Amino acid sequence: MQTDEMADRILAGDRRALARAITLIESGRADHRAQATTLTDRLVREGRQALRIGLSGTPGVGKSTFIEAFGMMLTAQGLKVAVLAVDPSSARSGGSILGDKTRMERLSRDPNAFIRPSPSQAQMGGVARRSREAILLCEAAGYDVILIETVGVGQSETMVAGMADLFVLLLAPAGGDELQGVKRGIMEMADLILINKADGELKSTATRTCADYAGALRLLRKRAQDPEGYPRAMTVSAVEETGLQAAWDAMTVLADWRRAEGYFDRNRAEQARGWFEEEVREGLLAELRRPGPARDALARLGARVQAGETSATAAAQEMLALLGRR
Ligand code: GDP
C-alpha cells in the first residue's frame, strides 16, 4: 500500500490500515522508517486529538480485566478506544508480560476498539518511539481515548507517563506495609490511584488501602497542574464493573480542568519537545553504532585510551570535535 493511500484509510478509521501502519513504524528497515516518517508527519497535521491515558500496575493487579471492562463501558457510550501496550520485558528478553492474544477478548471483538500488543524484541528507545508514533496514528484514525498500558517496573512507567495526558496507577488491596512498596517517584507521577478488586472479601481491605493512599497523596507536594482534590485515590472492581464510571468521571474532570487552565496543551508541547530531543540523542547514538567513520574513530580513540596513550577526557573531546565537523 502506498503511503498516501494508507494515510487516507487511516483517516477514514480503517483498523486494518492502522494495524499495517503500526507494523511499518515497528520495522527496523530504513525504507520502512522513511515511509513511517512521511506517514506520521502527514497525519499529525490533521490535528486530531485523543485523551491519552497511561495505565500502570504490576502483573496480576488486574490491568487487562480493568481495561476490558473500562473499554467496553466507553465504547457503549459511543467513544472509540485504542489500547497500546508498552512492555519493557520485550526489550530485554524478547518475551512479553503484556499483550498475549487471549487478553481482552471481548474488547478486541468490539468494532469501536483497537488493541495492539507490544512488539517483541524492540530496543527500549525503539519501544518509546513506536509507542509515540502509534499514539499519533490512533489519534489520526479517530480514536477518542487511548489507553497506554505498562507493567510497573522501573523506567517504563516514567516513559508512559511522559507520553500521556493522565497517568493512572492500578493497585491491589494490601496491608499497610505494602504501601511502602510503591516508590515515591511513581506516586508523584500518578493523577489517579485505583485500588482494584474492591469486591467480595477483599472489599474492606480495598477501602482501607484506598484511605491509606489518599492520605499518602495528601502529603505529596502540591502540583500546579492539579485542581483541588487531585491526585485522587478511588476503589474499583474490574470484575464486578463497579467504580468504573466514577473513575472515568474523575479522569474527564481533571482533563477538562487542565484544558481550561492551559496545562493540557503546555504538557503536550513539552512532551513533543522532549520527544524531539530524544530522537536527536538516539540518532547520534545510532551514528556511533553504524559502520562508518564515527564508529571507527570511537574504536580507535577507545583503544588509545585503553592503552594509556591519551586521557578519556581528551579523547572524548577529540571524538566530539570530529562529530561536530561533519
Ligand atoms: P494483569 O496481569 O494486571 O493484566 O491482571 P489480569 O487482568 O490478568 O488479572 C489477574 C487476576 O486478577 C485474574 O485472575 C483476574 O480474574 C483477577 N482480577 C482482575 N480484576 C479483578 C477484580 O476486580 N476483582 C477480583 N476479585 N479479581 C480480579
* Range ranked top by mean pLDDT from 100-104, 127-131, 272-276: 272-276
Per-residue confidence (pLDDT) for residue 179, from 0 to 100: 62
Instruction: Answer yes or no: is 38 within a domain.
Output: yes
In angstroms, rounded to a whole number, what is the distance separating the alpha carbons of residues 110 and 104?
10
Digit-coded pLDDT (tens) for 165-200: 999 999 999 865 656 567 778 888 999 999 999 999
Q: For residue 86, list its beta bridge partners.
A: 150
Q: Answer with the residue of higher pLDDT: 307 or 91.
A: 307
Per-residue confidence (pLDDT) for residue 58, from 0 to 100: 87
Q: Which atom of ligand 1 is nearest the CA belonging to 151?
A: 3
Q: Is the pLDDT of residue 140 over 80?
A: yes
> How large a percentage of the chain has pLDDT more than 90?
65
- Ligand 1 centroid vs 180 CA: distance in angstroms? 22
Residues 43 and 60 in one domain: no
- Ligand 1 centroid vs 282 CA: distance in angstroms? 37
Pocket residue to mutate for ligand 1, from 65, 103, 171, 234, most atoms within 8 A of Cβ: 65
- Ligand 1 centroid vs 239 CA: distance in angstroms? 7
- Ligand 1 centroid vs 324 CA: distance in angstroms? 53
Q: Is the pLDDT of residue 302 over 50?
A: yes
User: For the domain that residue 40 is a member of, what is the CATH number?
Assistant: 1.20.5.170
Residues 37 and 24 in one domain: yes
Cβ of 173 less than 6 Å from ligand 1: no
Residues 290 and 149 in one domain: no
Residues 23 and 153 in one domain: no
Instruction: Answer yes or no: is 267 within a domain.
Output: no
pLDDT band at residue 95, thresholds of 50, 70 and 90?
Answer: very low
Cβ of 59 less than 6 Å from ligand 1: yes
Residues 41 and 59 in one domain: no
Mean pLDDT of the chain: 89
Digit-coded pLDDT (tens) for 30-84: 898 899 999 999 998 888 899 999 999 988 899 999 999 999 999 999 999 999 9
Query: Is there a cis peptide before residue 119, judged by omega within 30 degrees of 0?
Result: no
Q: Is the pLDDT of residue 94 over 50?
A: no
Q: Which domain holds residue 7?
A: 1-47
Per-residue confidence (pLDDT) for residue 139, from 0 to 100: 96
Digit-coded pLDDT (tens) for 281-296: 888 888 888 899 999 9
Q: Is the pLDDT of residue 20 over 50?
A: yes
Q: Is the pLDDT of residue 154 over 90?
A: no
Digit-coded pLDDT (tens) for 5-18: 999 999 999 999 99
Instruction: Answer yes or no: is 268 within a domain.
Output: no
Per-residue confidence (pLDDT) for residue 226, from 0 to 100: 92
- Ligand 1 centroid vs 121 CA: distance in angstroms? 26
Per-residue confidence (pLDDT) for residue 176, from 0 to 100: 58
In angstroms, rounded to a whole number, what is the distance separating the alpha carbons of residues 35 and 31?
6
Cβ of 238 less than 6 Å from ligand 1: yes
Per-residue confidence (pLDDT) for residue 253, from 0 to 100: 97
- Tally of structural domains, the chain: 3
Please compute Rg for the chain using Cα positions. Answer: 22
Residues 1 and 55 in one domain: no
Q: Is the pLDDT of residue 210 over 50?
A: yes
Cβ of 239 less than 6 Å from ligand 1: yes
Q: Is the pLDDT of residue 301 over 80?
A: yes
Q: Which atom of ligand 1 is nearest the CA belonging to 97?
A: 2
Task: Scan for cell 484506598, then name that residue.
Answer: 210
- The crossing angle, in degrees rounded to 10, of helices 15-26 and 124-140 is 160
Q: Which atom of ligand 1 is nearest the CA belonging to 68?
A: 7
Average pLDDT over residues 100-120: 82
Per-residue confidence (pLDDT) for residue 98, from 0 to 100: 56
Q: Which atom of ligand 1 is nearest the CA belonging to 59?
A: 2
Considering only CA atoms, which residue is closest to atom 7 of ligand 1?
62
In angstroms, rounded to a whole number, what is the distance separating the alpha carbons of residues 257 and 254?
5
Order of all β-strands in the sheet with 81-86: 113-116, 81-86, 145-151, 51-57, 166-171, 192-195, 232-235
Considering only CA atoms, which residue is closest to atom 27 of ligand 1?
197
Residues 137 and 115 in one domain: yes
Cβ of 61 less than 6 Å from ligand 1: yes
The full 3-state SS of the chain, as one line of letters, equals: CCHHHHHHHHHCCCHHHHHHHHHHHHCCCHHHHHHHHHHHHHHHCCCCCCEEEEEEECCCCCHHHHHHHHHHHHHHCCCCEEEEEECHHHHHCCCCCCCCCCCCHHHHHCCCEEEECCCCCCCHHHHHHHHHHHHHHHHHCCCCEEEEEEECCCHHHHHHHCCCCEEEEEECCCCHHHHHHCCHHHHHHCCEEEECCCCHHHHHHHHHHHHHHHHHHHHCCCCCCCCCCCCEEEECECCCCECHHHHHHHHHHHHHHHHHHCHHHHHHHHHHHHHHHHHHHHHHHHHHHCCCHHHHHHHHHHHHHHCCCCCHHHHHHHHHHHHHHC
Instruction: Answer yes or no: is 304 within a domain.
Output: yes
Cβ of 195 less than 6 Å from ligand 1: no
Q: Which atom of ligand 1 is nearest the CA belonging to 98?
A: 4
